[in-house]
Amino acid sequence: VIKVLIADDEPGVLSSTSAVLKLFGYAVSTVSDAREIIGILRVERPDVLLQDVRMPGLDLAAHLKAIRSDAEVGRLPIILFTANLDADDVGQRLGADGVIGKPFDPNQLRDLIARLVGARGSGPNT
Amino acid sequence: VLATLLYVFVLGRTQGVAWAAEAILAIAWLYSVAIYILREHPGSVRDPARYLVTVADGALLMAWIAATGGFESPFHVFMYGMPVAVAFEHGHRQAVVASAACAAAYLSLLALLGQLTDNAPEAVIRAGCVLLIGPLGAMVTREAWEQGKAKVELRARATATEDAKKQVEQSLARLEQAQATLQESEERFRKIFHANLDAVALNAHREGWLLDVNDEFLQLTGFSRGDVLGRTADELNLWVDQGERKAVLAELQEHGIIRNRECRFRMKDGTVRWALFSAAVAEVGGRRCVVSFLRDITEREQAAQALRESEERYRRLVELSPDPIVVQVEERFAYVNAAAATLLGAKDPREVTGRSIFDFIHPDDHGAVRERIRQTTPERWPRDLIEEKMVRLDGQVVDIEVAGMPITYLGRPALQLVARDITERRRAERELEESRRAVAMAEKLSALGTLVSGVAHEIRTPSTYVTNNLFLLRHRLELAAQEHPALHDLFQEVVGYCGDALEGTERINRLVQDLRRFTRGEVRRRVAASLHEVAQVALDLFRATRRGHIELAVDLRETVRIVLDRGEMEQVVLNLLTNAADAMPNGGTIRAATRSAAGGAEIEVDDEGTGIPPQVEARLFDPFFTTKADGTGLGLSIARRIVDSHGGTIRHCTQPGSGTRFTVYLPSDASERTGGDV
């Protein structure tokens, strides 16, 4: 089962998005505190991180850099999850693997996750 | 004499003496008549005495012939006549010589003819008679002549004396009359002299002394009578300009009179006054005098001078004025200064003088200018500046402001106009206004961009879980419908509601994106599509959302495929439809049509609404300009931006009260412009 970690501070977004992803058969865990993300990544080892770009206390650039520089989780596919309309190119610049807007077409998100995980091939957790 | 000789020789020898006598008589008459006729022509016979003598010659000769009863021969006639004639003519001495010559000639002739020897004593007696007759006849006749002449002269003298006497009497009578007239005349002169309103002075002609002056003269010059009498004008230092004085005196000398010459005179107190100077030479009281009249025209001259100076000042002011100044008479330029000529695009004021002012006023302003002219009367006229457009000779249009006032120009009612070229000011104002608007617009867009960016985030976040939950709800309901066939229809119905709700969130999402895109000016991906497909989608959306009494009359014809942003073009059509509906608050019919047009396709949206007022029309496509209570002012602005980005045009045609038509044209080669963005 593909594990997805959703990091978002909006409970409504967290619950509905995890429900949608669960519907598609993913194993979903969530985190709403930015400071906990790295720890959870290390513990849970998800296949994909769906990362909200605007969380309280989150410096997105530093955050992504920290993940990428981590020996264990550095190769994790990261999808930026944003309600900001201007984030498309920001995502690319910061080293994310994909960007999905809010609100999103659930099928589109599923396709994106499938593509990223498939491209990663046999990861440590598969 | 020649004729006589001819008869003597020819007729005397052939016809006899009687014939010769008659012939000579006739010749004498002819001779007399000839003399008489010649006398009628002065110059032919100069001395009357001499021809009288000659006539007498003839008469005497005739008398002689008559007394003697003819001559034996013409020689005798000649001989007796000649001495007498010569005696009358030249005197006794010559008559004696002539008698002697005739006697000698007679004797010589007889001798020549050989007759002397036949009758020698008779010949000698006859010759002697000739000698006597000449002087005697001459003496007798001359004495009588002289006496007669003396008598005639005496009588003539008596008559002349009589005439002279009469003339003297007449002269005396006339002289008396003249003296009376003279007295009268001098009396008149005295009256005129003293009662004259002009200053009058009487000078002795030769010496120049002032003999008399009237009171006016004293009043004018400030002198007393004692000051001036017996003095000359020079001594009184009256003349300011000696050259002028000399010229006046010379003219007076030549013509005896001088009229209304403008001269300057110095008064007693040294002030200089202008006077009209007239003078004449006249005999007054038996003395040759000069009467001078001085009419004080100093005030008139000063006024005239002031007027001349004022006119000169005005002329210079107008001619050199940097502001264009014109004078118009009956709607034509009567005067144009240099600045005005330049304003009108002429090199020389003469190029435009005389032309109608309406040749130069922009047709838009003709009405206003006519009204202005109508309001202007010599008593009242508008004081404020009027702004108008002028068309120069080269066709260029300039903005001016004009002030006008009624004047009289060459005796005719006229308008004097002072203009100012405000083209530059106008342009600067327009530019300032445009730049202000551009700045205001940029500020608005910038503020909106920030706002939209923030709001978009806040909308999209809850929108995310609405969408997600609707998605989940629909999914569950679909499953439930399969699990519970009894409730299948109900679940399916609710699934439909979910679908509609999802569509709504989709539209919210799109609106937010459009708004953001507008504030950032993004271009999205384009595909080839046909306008009628786009219009169809927009119409469906419109139908689904619109309430009210709006009828749709749709005439969608298939058009060429055009590379376009479907979403954007749908938005354009939807905006036009929405505006059309808003223009008809009481309902009506919207006609929508698509068709192919030259090089592309057109879509037309037509309403029966209120139309667009002119003041709104100018700002129709301005962002945030709206006339609707709940409008954003973005509809047409976005539509225009979208159409522009497709290389198309959006135009409209409005009729207040009967509706508006918007036509969007898109060229089919837009793909070339977007560089294969398909």
Residues B500-516 have pLDDT tens digits of 888 888 878 877 877 77
* Chain B residues with beta carbon closer than 8 angstroms to that of A103: 460, 463-468, 505, 509
Percent of all residues in chain A with a pLDDT value above 90, rounded to a whole number: 38
Residue type, A44: E
For residue B244, pLDDT beyond 70? yes
- In the structure encoding, which two tokens stand for residue B121, read together? 């004593």
Of the candidates A23, A84, A85, which has its C-beta nearest B475's C-beta? A23
Angle, CA of B295, B296 and B302, to the nearest 5°: 135
As a whole number, mean pLDDT of residues B149-170 equals 86
Closest CA to B634 of B584, B571, B591: B571
pLDDT higher than threshold 90 for residue B519: no
Task: Give the pLDDT confidence score for residue B678 in this predicted structure.
Answer: 32
CA torsion B261→B263→B268→B270, rounded to 10°? Answer: 170
Whole-angstrom Cα Rg for chain B: 68
Residue type, B15: Q
Of B457, B458, B464, the CB nearest to A104: B464
> Cβ distance B259 to B228 under 8 Å?
no
From CA B23, how far away is CA B29, in angstroms rounded? 10
Which residues lie across from B326 on neighbouring strands?
Answer: B336, B417
Q: Which of A16, A99, A108 to mutate to test the interface with B (most CBs of B within 10 A)?
A: A16
Do A103 and B468 make contact, defined as CB atoms within 8 angstroms? yes
pLDDT category of residue B21 using cuts at 50, 70 and 90: low
CB contacts < 8 Å between A and B, how many?
A: 66
The model's confidence at residue B620, banded by pLDDT at 50, 70 and 90, is confident
Which residue blocks in B391-487 are alpha helix, DSSP H?
A: 423-483
Query: In the structure encoding, which two tokens stand for residue A47, read together?
Result: 């296949």
Beta carbons of A103 and B516 less than 8 Å apart: no
Q: Any CB–CB contact under 8 A between B314 and chain A?
A: no
B36 pLDDT exceeds 90? no
Q: B94-116: per-residue pLDDT in tens?
A: 777 777 777 787 777 777 767 66
Candidate from B130-134, B367-371, B570-574 with smallest mean pLDDT: B130-134
Please tell me which residue of chain B has the smallest CA distance to A104.
Answer: B464
pLDDT of the residue at B70: 52
Whole-Å CA distances, B480 to A71, B475, B597 = 46, 9, 53
pLDDT tops 90 at residue A29 = yes
Nearest chain A Cα to B457, which residue? A83
Instruction: Determine the distance in angstroms separating the CA of A21 from the nearest CA of chain B, rounded to an integer.
Output: 10
Query: Both tokens of residue A45?
Result: 């080892």
* Residue A57: φ, ψ to 5°: 80, 10
What pLDDT, on the 0 to 100 scale, is given for residue A32?
92
pLDDT attached to residue B88: 63
User: What is chain B's mean pLDDT, rounded?
Assistant: 80
pLDDT band at A122, cuts 50/70/90? very low
Give the DSSP H/E element, type plus range, for residue B527.
Answer: strand B527-530
pLDDT per residue as tens digits for the range B44-86: 444 555 555 555 565 566 555 545 555 555 556 666 666 666 6
Q: pLDDT at residue B377 above 50?
A: yes
User: CB of B549 within 8 Å of any CB in chain A?
Assistant: no
Hey, is the C-beta of B451 within 8 angstroms of any chain A C-beta? no
pLDDT at B29 over 70: no
pLDDT of residue B492: 87
Closest-CA distance, B471 to chain A, in angstroms, reads 8
Mean pLDDT of B620-635: 73
Token representation of residue B585:
């608050």
Dist. CA B322–CA B343, nearest whole Å: 11
Residue of A nearest to B459 (CA): A83
On the question of pLDDT at B15 being above 60, the answer is: no
pLDDT value of position B454: 79
Q: How many CA atoms lie within 13 A of B626 on its CB side?
A: 15
| Whether B525 contacts chain A with CB within 8 A | no
B459 contacts in chain A (CB < 8 Å): 83
Q: Is B20 a residue whose pLDDT tops 70?
A: no
Contacts 24+ apart (CB under 8 A), B222-230: B222/B267, B222/B268, B222/B269, B223/B268, B227/B268, B228/B201
State how far residue A123 is from chain B, nearest Cα, in angstroms.
29
Give A-chain residues touching B475 at CB under 8 angstroms: 23
Answer whether A65's CB lies under 8 Å from A38's CB: no
Nearest CA in chain A to B513: A85
- Round the average pLDDT of chain A to a whole number and report it: 84
pLDDT, tens only, B205-224: 888 888 889 888 998 899 99
Contact between B109 and B73 under an 8 Å Cβ cutoff? The reply is no
Bridge partners, residue B604, by sequence = B593, B663
- B472–A19: do the CB atoms touch at under 8 Å? yes
Q: For residue A54, what is the nearest residue in chain B, using CA coordinates? A: B457
Q: Is A107 on the interface with B (CB under 8 A)?
A: no
Q: Is the pLDDT of residue B662 over 80?
A: yes
Of A24-33, B353-362, B452-461, B530-539, the poorest mean pLDDT is in: B452-461
CA distances from B118 to B110, B113, B114, B115, B523 (A): 10, 11, 8, 5, 179
Higher pLDDT, B109 or B406: B406
Which residue on chain B is closest to A13 by alpha carbon?
A: B465
Q: How many CB atoms lie within 10 A of CB B463?
A: 21
Answer whether B290's CB lies under 8 Å from B202's CB.
yes
- The string of DSSP codes covering B181-241 is HHHHHHHHHHHHHHH-SSEEEEEETTT--EEEE-HHHHHHH---HHHHTT--HHHHT-BS-
Helix B2-9 vs helix B74-90: crossing angle, to nearest 10: 160
Which amino acid makes up residue B126? R
- pLDDT per position as a tens digit, A69-120: 888 888 899 998 888 766 555 666 677 888 888 888 888 899 999 999 886 5
Q: How confident is the model at residue A26 (pLDDT cuts 50, 70, 90)?
A: very high
Cβ contact (<8 Å) for B461 and A102? yes
From the list A20, A86, A102, the residue facing B471 with the nearest CB is: A20
Residue A62's pLDDT is 87
Q: What value does the mean pLDDT take over residues B599-615? A: 89
Give residue B186's pLDDT.
80
Mean pLDDT of B597-622: 87
In a mutational test of the A interface, the residue from B460, B476, B525 whose CB has the highest number of chain A CBs within 10 Å is B460
> Are B568 and B604 spatial neighbours (Cβ–Cβ below 8 Å)?
no
The whole-number average pLDDT for the span B190-205 is 85
Contact B610, B640 (CB under 8 A): no
* Nearest CA-CA distance, residue A16 and chain B, Å: 6
Weakest mean pLDDT among A4-18, B125-139, B458-472, B531-545:
B125-139
The reply to whether B298 touches chain A by the CB within 8 Å rule is: no
pLDDT of the residue at B99:
76
pLDDT-based confidence at residue B676 (cuts at 50, 70, 90): very low
Whether chain A has a CB inside 8 Å of the CB on B457: the answer is: yes
- The residues in B 475-514 lying below 8 A from A, measured between CB atoms, are 475, 505, 509, 512-513
- Whether the CB-CB separation of B508 and B463 falls below 8 Å is answered with yes
Six-digit token pair at B350? 């003469």
Note the pLDDT tens digit of each residue in B520-568: 655 556 788 888 888 888 888 788 766 678 888 999 888 888 888 887 8
Per-residue pLDDT tens digits for B296-342: 888 888 888 898 999 898 888 888 888 899 999 988 999 999 999 99
Give the residue with greater pLDDT, B116 vs B485: B485
- For an interface test with A, the pick among B471, B502, B507 (most A C-beta atoms closer than 10 Å) comes out as B471
Residues in Cβ contact with B19 at an 8 Å cutoff, skipping those fewer than 6 apart: B11
Residue type at A70 in one-letter notation: D
Yes or no: say if B294 and B197 are a contact pair by the CB < 8 Å rule. Answer: no
